């Protein structure tokens, strides 16, 4: 049985979320760059992923699945169905972690082989700065080891928690949409500072730092 450090991690889709997760894994020392690979239909996205992470890239999803132990599905929701049809046979016995918003476990399980182990995750945009909040839920074939792998991946870019799937809608509303509300609060505080004579840059810096410090006091 492979240790976590020996696992090969594959990203189908190499956009901002995939890049952030890959960088988090490498910076945390969990996975070496040589054990990360990504595929994408867009050459520019592949090139950007390779440049920022130093990892390998492919233009073939099936080849990626065959080369890796854990597959992170990081494509847009409207591409999930076609991608899963394409890689269906190659997913036999693999661990698939989907971060595609709104695609439930039932849909993922019905679109993959019976032996596949499926995890659905909901990271928020703050993973881009390694301060994210991710909730994930597991399908019936998922082992405790698989659950630990998912937790380690998402913990490398912030907080990771395991929840029942019926709670993911609430998670989406809270931590998924939460950054947008935090931005509004920072903007409102900054506006107040400007109204009292502070320069905009300083007002925004003070507002943002105040929310950051407050969050750390809670955590």
CATH number at residue 70: 3.40.50.720
User: Helix, strand, or coil here: 159?
Assistant: strand
Do 99 and 149 have their domain in common?
A: yes
Tokens of 92: 């036999």
Report the number of distinct structural domains present in the chain: 2
Do 199 and 167 have their domain in common?
A: no
CA angle 95–98–100, rounded 5-degree value: 170
One digit per residue, pLDDT tens: the chain, 219 residues?
Answer: 678 889 999 999 999 999 999 999 999 998 999 999 999 999 999 999 999 999 999 999 999 999 999 999 999 999 999 999 999 999 999 999 999 999 999 999 999 999 999 999 999 999 999 999 999 999 999 999 999 999 999 999 999 999 999 999 999 999 999 999 999 999 999 999 999 999 999 999 999 999 999 999 999
The whole-angstrom separation of Cα 45 and Cα 144 is 33
CB 75 within 8 A of CB 12: yes
Do 17 and 47 have their domain in common?
A: yes
Do 110 and 208 have their domain in common?
A: no
The domain containing residue 202 runs over which residues?
177-218
Do 39 and 134 have their domain in common?
A: yes
Do 26 and 59 have their domain in common?
A: yes
Do 181 and 169 have their domain in common?
A: no
Do 56 and 114 have their domain in common?
A: yes
The CATH number given to whatever domain includes residue 206 is 1.10.3730.10
Do 100 and 167 have their domain in common?
A: yes
CB 121 within 8 A of CB 148: no
Do 120 and 204 have their domain in common?
A: no
Answering whether pTM is above 0.75, one says: yes
Do 140 and 200 have their domain in common?
A: no
Q: Are strands 117-123 and 132-138 parallel, antiparallel or unpaired?
A: antiparallel
Q: What is the pLDDT of residue 1?
A: 67
Do 129 and 193 have their domain in common?
A: no
């Amino acid at each position: 049985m492979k240790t976590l450090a020996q696992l090969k991690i594959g990203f189908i889709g190499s956009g901002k979320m995939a890049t952030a997760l890959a960088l988090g894994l490498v910076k945390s020392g969990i996975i070496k760059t040589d054990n990360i690979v990504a595929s994408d239909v867009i050459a520019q996205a592949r090139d950007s992923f390779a440049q920022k992470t130093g990892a390998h890239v492919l233009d073939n999803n099936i080849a990626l699945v065959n080369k890796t132990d854990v597959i992170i599905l990081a494509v847009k929701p409207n591409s999930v169905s076609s991608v899963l049809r394409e890689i269906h046979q190659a997913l036999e016995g693999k661990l698939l972690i989907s971060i595609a918003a709104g695609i439930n476990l039932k849909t993922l399980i019905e679109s993959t082989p019976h032996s596949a182990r499926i995890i659905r995750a909901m990271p928020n945009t703050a993973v881009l700065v390694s301060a994210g909040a991710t909730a994930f839920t597991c399908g019936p074939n998922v082992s405790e080891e698989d659950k630990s792998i998912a937790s380690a991946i998402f913990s490398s870019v912030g907080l990771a928690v395991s929840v029942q799937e019926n709670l993911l809608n609430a998670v989406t509303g809270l931590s998924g949409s939460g950054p947008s509300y935090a931005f509004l609060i920072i903007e409102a505080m900054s506006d107040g500072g400007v109204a009292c004579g502070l320069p905009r840059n300083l007002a925004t810096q003070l507002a943002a730092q105040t929310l950051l410090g407050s969050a750390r006091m809670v955590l």
